[in-house]
Homo-oligomer: A and B are copies of this chain.
Amino acid sequence: MLTLSTRKVQWNLPDEKRPEHYHHGRLREAIMETSLDLIAENGVRALTLREIGARLAVSRTAPYRHFADKATLLAALAKVGFARFGDVLEEARNQAGTSHLKQLEAMGVAYVRFAAGHRAHFEVMFGSGSDSLPLDAEGSQVADRAFGILRETIRDGQLAGEIVDGDPVDIARMVWSLVHGISLLGFGPGPDGVANDGFVPFSLALLQSGLRKRPD
Contacts and interface: CB of A to CB of B under 8 A. Distances in A.
Contacts of A210: 164, 207-212
A123 B175 CA distance: 23
Most B CB atoms within 10 A — which of A101, A119, A131, A176? Answer: A131
Contact of A181 (B119, B129, B184): B184
Interface residues of A, number: 45
A67 interface: no
A58 interface: no
Contacts of A175: 211
B178 A177 contact: yes
A150 B64 CA distance: 50
Contact of A211 (B131, B176, B207): B207
Interface of A: 43, 45, 101, 104, 119, 123, 126-131, 158, 161-166, 170-171, 173-182, 184-185, 187, 199, 202-203, 206-213
19 contacts: A45-B45, A101-B211, A123-B130, A128-B128, A129-B129, A158-B213, A162-B212, A163-B212, A164-B206, A164-B212, A171-B211, A174-B182, A174-B206, A174-B207, A175-B211, A179-B181, A181-B181, A181-B184, A207-B210
